[in-house]
Each structure stands twice: as C-alpha cells, then as structure tokens.
C-alpha cells in the first residue's frame, strides 16, 4: 500500500503537471500559463540582465539584442543531391526559443528519425555568467538526449574529444577556423563533412520544410506561393515581438526600455488584430510565421512579462492571441515544445 506521504507527494506533482483551469477562457494551456506565472514574483524592475556575463551598461541595449538575434555566422543551403537520411542533425536545447522554432518545423515536416536532433547538456550555455574560456559554452556529452532513430553511428565521431564531450565552439571552428565570438544554438550540422551548414533559426526552418521535403513524411509547405505576400506583410510584426522582448529585457536605460516596451506592445496589439477571424497568422494554414511566433508568445507571461519587464499586458488580455495559442497547442509539434516550468 502506498504511504500517505507518497500519495501526498504524488498529489503535489500532479498539481504541477495538471494545473487547475483558470479563467473564463481557461483551456488547459491558459491554466498551465496561469499556474506558473501566478507563482512568479512580478517585480517592478525585473531581473538584472547579463550580457556576456556582465550586467548591461548604458548604450548596450540595442547592441545586445542585435548581438543575440544576429549572431549568425553560417548561412549555407542544402542541395537536393546532398539530401540523405541520417546525415544532418539539429543541434539544439529543448528549452531555448530559437531552437524550438527549428524543432517545431522538424516535427511538422515529419523529419523525426530522418534529420537527427542532438540536445545540449543543459538549457543554458554553461558559460552563462562566467567567462566563456572557463567553461567553453554549449556542449554535448555522452548522456545527451538524441533522436535514437536517426543513426546508429556516433555523429560526432570525427570531432570527438578524449573526454567524450564535444563543445559547440569546436564545431564552429571545424567549419570555419577563423570563427570567433558568439557560439549559438540552434545549428544545422552535416555529419558527413563535420561542418555547420546554417545557424539562423529562420533559415533552418525554411531548409527543414523546403529542402528536406523528399525526406519528410508530411510533405508540408510552410511558405506556400499563395500566402507569401501575406506572410511578408505580417513578418515584421512577428519580428518586432521576437526582438522587442529582448530589447525590453536588455535595456539598461529607462528611455530605451520605455521605447522598446511601447514598440513591443504595438506589435502585440497588431498581432491581436491580424488574428481577428483568422485561424493562423497568415490565414487558414500554418506557415513559417506561426513557427517563428509560437516560442516567443507561449512564454510571454511566464518569461518576458516578469524577467524582461514586458508588463503592459499579459497574454491573457489578448483573446485572439490566447485562442490562437490554444489552437496551436493542440498540435503535437507545438505542444511538445511547451515545458512551462523551465521558462520561468
Ligand atoms: N540568430 C540566431 C540567434 C540564436 C541565439 O541567440 N541563440 C542563443 C540561445 S540561448 C544562444 O545560443 N546564446 C548563446 C550565447 O549567446 O552565448 C537564431 O535566430 O538562430
């Protein structure tokens, strides 16, 4: 028989996993968001944001955001004749919003077991808050989560260190020996050449659904001809939200923070209007825009509202956006990215 203590513990766990539904629109997802975000201390000033381990200083606000968002070194493409099952790998962290875009596209395209996924050891680069030289940043080690169906070979064999750990910066250097500076996930890596093909999440999303179409089981097109004009019209709004939360979070001066805050919420309001009478951002089909927007919007109340001080409104104040997130949350490729407690 189960002891009372065990039962109590189990009860407590199930509260975390299956929170009470809250609010009039309270679907499962709203309940989950509320249960995590209600437990957070909403401080006025928010957290001190570190840039390369140091508190942000005046003048760095725009720069830091640019640095993170534009830290793109590799912009390669995949050619049809090179497409092979088990050859390419997504290097990701499951908790990271940029990585999640590529993982959503990977899931939507049905590329599981065809394009591998290799996760970093933790949800932060281990250099966070420390000089990169001391810890060497993102790493992949033996116990790493891996898409087991992708290949039986060790994809890192030819770059493996004696310690059995591969640091992402080594893969950057193997790709371009002159490579210095920021080493970011996600990246699309070619196990045949040992080189990184691309490290920009939006471009990787495009590669996954367009260039790997012959591998994917779902044959999806997230950038269909007839919606391209509409996608381009709305892309700026999504970009402004994605970038805006970081601008708020990294702002070191009050004026910069206020300007970023207003810009971000203008974009949120615009997004809410776009979704009026619409299933998805570009219309009745899921497109790249939804893949790019979801990881930011889904953690808005839990991450950006408290930590980046994006606190004019919460997601729950936007009925269309809330309903939209609920709609996407019903789809496995999106739902499997939601680990609410790790966003806080
Ligand atoms: N432009 C890149 C940005 C990716 C990015 O900022 N990745 C972060 C995820 S936490 C990272 O790896 N940061 C490590 C660092 O800045 O040291 C993209 O959209 O793919």
CATH of the domain at 297: 1.20.1050.10
Q: How many CB atoms lie within 10 A of CB 52?
A: 15
Q: Is 129 left (phi over 0), alpha (psi -120 to 50) or beta?
A: left
Give residue 30's pLDDT. 67
Residue 32, pLDDT > 80, answer no
Residues 184 and 84 in one domain: yes
Helix (H, G, I), strand (E, B) or coil at 302: helix
Residues 77 and 197 in one domain: yes
Model confidence at 127, pLDDT cuts 50, 70, 90, reads low
Q: Identify the residue whose C-alpha is closest to ligand 1 atom 3.
A: 69
User: Ligand 1, from 68, 121, 172, 200: best to mutate by most atoms within 8 Å of Cβ?
Assistant: 68
Give residue 217's pLDDT. 85
User: pLDDT digit string (tens) for 66-76?
Assistant: 555 556 689 99
Residues 98 and 41 in one domain: no
Ligand 1 centre and the CA of 172: distance in Å? 13
- Number of the ligand 1 atom closest to the C-alpha atom of 186: 20
Residues 158 and 83 in one domain: yes
Rounded to an integer, what distance in angstroms lies between the CA atom of residue 196 and that of residue 176? 9
165-184: burial string, b at 16+ Cβ within 10 Å, e else: bbbbbbbbebbeeebeebbb
User: pLDDT digit string (tens) for 202-219?
Assistant: 999 999 999 999 998 888
- Number of the ligand 1 atom closest to the C-alpha atom of 204: 20
Model confidence at 255, pLDDT cuts 50, 70, 90, reads confident
Residues with CB under 6 A from ligand 1: 68-72, 96, 98, 125, 182, 184-186, 199-201
Residues 130 and 200 in one domain: yes
Domain at 99, CATH number: 3.40.30.10
Give residue 27's pLDDT. 60
Mean pLDDT value across the chain: 80
- Could you list the residue range(s) of the whole structural domain that residue 39 is in? 24-55+224-343
Residue 81 lies in a domain: yes
User: Ligand 1, from 122, 132, 184, 247: best to mutate by most atoms within 8 Å of Cβ?
Assistant: 184
- Number of the ligand 1 atom closest to the C-alpha atom of 124: 10
Over residues 93-114, mean pLDDT: 94
Of the candidates 131, 135, 201, 130, the residue with the CA atom closest to the CA atom of residue 167 = 135
Residue 144, pLDDT > 60, answer no
Instruction: Tell me which of 164, 189, 211 is where a domain ends.
Output: 211
298-318: burial string, b at 16+ Cβ within 10 Å, e else: bbbbbbbbbbbbbbebbbbeb
Rounded to an integer, what distance in angstroms lies between the CA atom of residue 170 and that of residue 121? 15
Residue 129, pLDDT > 80, answer no
Give residue 70's pLDDT. 56
Residues 51 and 177 in one domain: no
Over residues 122-143, mean pLDDT: 69
Of the candidates 47, 31, 19, the residue with the CA atom closest to the CA atom of residue 311 = 47
Helix (H, G, I), strand (E, B) or coil at 295: helix
Residue 175, CA distances (Å) to 73, 78, 153 in order = 10, 15, 21
- Number of the ligand 1 atom closest to the C-alpha atom of 127: 17
Which residues touch 122 (CB under 8 Å, ≥6 apart)?
A: 93
């Amino acid at each position: 028989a189960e002891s009372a203590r065990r039962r109590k513990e189990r009860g407590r766990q199930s509260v975390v996993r299956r929170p009470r539904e809250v609010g009039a629109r309270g679907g499962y997802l709203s309940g989950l968001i509320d249960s995590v975000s209600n437990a957070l201390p909403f401080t006025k000033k928010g957290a001190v944001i570190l840039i390369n381990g140091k508190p942000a200083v005046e003048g760095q606000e725009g720069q830091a955001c640019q640095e993170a968002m534009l830290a793109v070194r590799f912009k390669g493409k995949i050619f049809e004749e090179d497409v092979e099952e088990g050859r390419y790998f997504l290097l990701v962290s499951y908790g990271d919003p940029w990585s999640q875009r590529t993982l959503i596209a990977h899931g939507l395209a049905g590329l599981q077991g065809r394009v591998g996924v290799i996760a970093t050891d933790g949800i932060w680069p281990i250099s966070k808050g420390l000089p990169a030289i001391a810890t060497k940043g993102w790493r992949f080690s033996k116990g790493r989560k891996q898409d087991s169906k992708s290949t039986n070979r060790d994809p890192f064999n030819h770059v493996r260190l004696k310690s059995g750990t591969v640091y992402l910066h080594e893969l950057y250097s193997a790709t371009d020996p002159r490579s210095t500076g920021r080493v970011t996930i996600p990246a699309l890596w070619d196990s045949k050449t040992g080189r990184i093909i691309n490290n920009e999440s939006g471009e990787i999303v495009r590669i996954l659904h367009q260039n790997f179409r012959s591998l994917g089981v779902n044959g999806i097109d997230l950038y269909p001809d007839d919606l391209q004009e509409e996608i381009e019209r709305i892309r700026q709004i999504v970009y402004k939200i994605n970038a805006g939360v970081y601008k708020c979070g990294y702002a070191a001066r009050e004026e910069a923070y206020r300007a970023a805050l207003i810009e971000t919420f203008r974009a949120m309001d615009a997004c809410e209007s776009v979704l009026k009478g619409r299933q998805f951002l570009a219309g009745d089909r899921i497109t790249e825009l939804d893949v790019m927007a979801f990881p930011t919007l889904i953690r808005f109340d839990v991450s950006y509202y408290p930590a980046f001080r994006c606190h004019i409104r919460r997601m729950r104040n936007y009925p269309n956006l809330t309903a939209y997130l609920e709609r996407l949350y019903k789809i496995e490729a999106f739902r499997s990215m939601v680990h609410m407690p790790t966003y806080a």
